[in-house]
Amino acid sequence: MTAVIDSPTAPGDHAARRPVLPPLRLGPVTIPTPVVLAPMAGITNRAFRRLCREFGESAGNGEAGRCLYVSEMITSRALVERTPESMRLITHDPQENPRSVQLYGVDPATVRAAVRLLVTEDRADHVDLNFGCPVPKVTRKGGGSALPWKTELFRGIVAGAVAEAEPYGVPVTVKMRKGIDDDHLTYLDAGRIARDSGVAAVALHGRTASQSYSGQADWSAIARLRETITDIPVLGNGDIWSAEDALDMVARTGVDGVVVGRGCLGRPWLFADLVSAFAGGASRVRPSLAEVGAALRRHTVYLVDFYDGDEHRACRDIRKHIAWYLKGFPAGHEIRHRLALVDALSDVDELIASLPADAPWPGAPAEGPRGRAGSPRQVALPDGWLDSRELTGESARIVAQAELSVSGG
Ligand SMILES: Cc1cc2nc3c(=O)[nH]c(=O)nc-3n(C[C@H](O)[C@H](O)[C@H](O)COP(=O)(O)O)c2cc1C
């Protein structure tokens, strides 16, 4: 990978460097570089985590290159039922350290059972709980980002997960949004409840559910949470597209670490930049199109392994990444179109070979937002959900169905 020293004033990347932040401590687990790959359904499977991890490690000196790479969300019910897909999703590479799993759930007993499965069978070293999902089919049943509104239900899920995990030395963290909408913010209460329930850290995506992915993430809310929750790490999430954005978030919010999602789409080498930046270095990866093609190929090969040798499935999966990898490069419409229809690794090879390999990193056109954007909307909620922060009989019945409505993530 082509690395450049970005800043003309930088004394060189090997000069004495000072880490920007200390390692992230999640209970007994230490993450040397306090950067987290955000859980992303359909994206952060074992293959993509490996790619990001390898880039991160390539920039760090051994241990220093270690970050936290979270799985895509796994429905606790599906896990308890040991569906083949959820069992695939919780599988880690032997090199993954720590092995991190994100769970989604609405029923304290089911979430507890899922955590119990993970810890008693030694399948995870870290469990993250997802309270940020804004998808209507989830919030309509009171799940995801609608759930922290019901404070006792939220407490029950979090405390139950911690009670199962703690004896095994497995830290539990919570990932959440600011709230349902600007009139129904939940993050400060939820942060306090999570801390009092024994979580090792809380991560905040600075948007409400009603914002979906639109507008700008509110980093001032992240700063506010940091000021409110002083005794466990607070992680900031939302709109980090470059290593500079990550440093900026740390400077502006005081967080103990950052969570990066869409910035890595088609840019797994962002982890090399992040590891370098958090070590105080100025080296940044600016790949040529040939290098991007090599990363895309490596991603496909890892997906073939993830899908047990099924090239067709791996190729169907890689198709959604193509536009992200090629963003800003002079790859014509026809080749993009053909790449988006690949069926076998040999197709991928043939098409990569036909790209103008010597095309350099295009700069600004390749940077900035990718992936989901969406527009603001009214959040779908069960009838009467906002009337009270307690879970009443009818709401309880609706919530119990929420877990059944999501599969695999
Ligand atoms: C395709 C996609 C899938 C996502 N899936 C999950 C998920 O499974 N669990 C979760 O907590 N958040 C999920 N998210 C939200 C991200 O983890 C993250 O909070 C959000 O994208 C904001 O961070 P960013 O601006 O760095 O992308 C998903 C986001 C995207 C774009």
The separation between the first and the last C-alpha atoms of the chain, rounded to the nearest angstrom, is 33
Q: Report the pLDDT value the prediction gives residue 8, as an integer from 0 to 100.
A: 40
Confidence band, pLDDT 50/70/90 cuts, at residue 409 = very low
The neighbouring-strand residues paired with 184 are: 181
Ligand 1 lined by 132 (C-beta under 6 Å): yes
pLDDT of 12 strictly over 80: no
Q: What is the DSSP string of 70-105?
A: EEEEEEHHHHHTT-HHHHHHT---TT-SS-EEEEE-
The tokens of 58 are what?
Answer: 């390539």
Residue-wise pLDDT tens digits, 326-335 = 999 988 888 8
**What is the set of active-site residues?**
133
Q: Nearest to residue 189, comparing CAs of 219, 223, 150, 218? A: 150
pTM of the full predicted structure? 0.95
pLDDT of residue 64: 77
Q: How many CA atoms lie within 13 A of 186 on its CB side?
A: 30
pLDDT on residue 357:
85
Tell me which residue has its CA closest to atom 11 in ligand 1.
130
What pLDDT is stored for residue 407 in this prediction?
A: 45
261 pocket-lining for ligand 1 (C-beta < 6 Å): yes
Sign of CA dihedral 46, 50, 52, 53: positive
Q: Is residue 39 in contact with ligand 1, taking CB distance under 6 Å?
A: yes
- Centre of ligand 1 to C-alpha 5, Å, is 30
Report the pLDDT averaged over residues 239-250.
98
Average pLDDT in the 17-26 region?
93
Q: Kindly give the number of the ligand 1 atom that is closest to the alpha carbon of 237.
A: 23
Mutate to test the pocket of ligand 1, among 242, 262, 264, 406 (most ligand atoms within 8 A of CB): 262
Residue 392, pLDDT score = 82
pLDDT by residue (tens digit) across 274-316?
999 999 999 999 999 999 999 999 999 999 999 999 999 999 9
Confidence of residue 62 (pLDDT cuts 50, 70, 90): confident
In eight-state DSSP terms, residue 16 is: -
Could you give the residue ranges of the DSSP H alpha helices within 147-199? Answer: 151-165, 187-196
pLDDT recorded at residue 397: 82
Residue nearest to ligand 1 atom 13, measured at CA: 40
| Interatomic CA distance for residues 372 and 323, integer angstroms | 13
Average pLDDT, the chain: 92
**pLDDT category of residue 393 using cuts at 50, 70 and 90:** confident
Q: How confident is the model at residue 374 (pLDDT cuts 50, 70, 90)?
A: confident
Q: Which atom of ligand 1 is nearest to the CA of 372?
A: 31
> Which ligand 1 atom sits nearest the alpha carbon of residue 239?
25
Helical residues (DSSP H) of 262-376, grouped into ranges: 270-278, 289-306, 311-326, 333-339, 345-353
Count Cα atoms within 13 angstroms, Cβ side, for 26: 32
Distance separating alpha carbons of residues 209 and 179, to the nearest angstrom: 6
Largest CA distance in the chain: 64
In terms of Cα–Cα distance, which of 154, 150, 142, 136 is closest to 382?
142
Centroid of ligand 1 to alpha carbon of 44 (angstroms): 10
User: Residue 40: CB within 6 Å of ligand 1?
Assistant: yes
* Cβ neighbours around 377 below 10 Å, total: 14
pLDDT of residue 9: 42
| Residue written as token pair 């009092």 | 196
Q: Is the pLDDT of residue 108 over 50?
A: yes
Question: Ligand 1 in contact with 371 (CB < 6 A)?
Answer: yes
pLDDT at residue 5 in the model: 61
* Cα(127) to centroid(ligand 1), Å: 16
C-alpha of residue 254 to centroid of ligand 1, in Å: 22
How far apart CA 236 and CA 202 sit, in angstroms, is 9
Tell me which residue has its CA closest to atom 26 in ligand 1.
261
Q: Is 73 in the pocket of ligand 1 (CB under 6 A)?
A: yes
Q: Which helix (H) or strand (E) holds 225?
A: helix 219-228
Which residues contact residue 210 at a Cβ distance below 8 angstroms, ignoring those fewer than 6 apart? 134, 180, 181, 182, 376, 377, 378, 379
Spatial distance between the Cα atoms of 77 and 389, rounded to a whole number of angstroms: 25
Please say if the pLDDT value at position 38 is more than 90: yes
For ligand 1, whether the C-beta of 372 sits within 6 Å is yes
Residue 13 has a pLDDT of 52
Between the CA of 13 and the centroid of ligand 1 the distance, in Å, is: 32
CB 361 within 8 A of CB 1: no
Q: Does ligand 1 have an atom closer than 6 angstroms to the CB of 205?
A: yes
Range of 56-70, 78-92, 369-383 with top mean pLDDT = 78-92
The pLDDT tens digits of the residues spanning 136-179 come to 999 998 999 999 999 999 999 999 999 999 999 999 999 999 99
Whether the pLDDT of residue 265 is over 90: the answer is yes
Q: How far is the centre of ligand 1, averaged over its atoms, from the C-alpha of 384 (Å)?
A: 28
* DSSP β-ladder status, 283-285 and 3-5: antiparallel
Q: Looking at ligand 1, which atom is closest to the CA of residue 263?
A: 26
Residue 372 binned pLDDT confidence (cut-offs 50, 70, 90):
confident
The answer, yes or no, to whether any atom of ligand 1 lies below 6 A from the CB of 164, is no
Q: What is the rounded average pLDDT of the residues 44-73?
A: 93
**Is 175 touching ligand 1 by the criterion CB < 6 Å?**
yes
Q: Length of the chain in residues, anyone? A: 409
Residue 6's pLDDT band, with cuts at 50, 70 and 90, is low
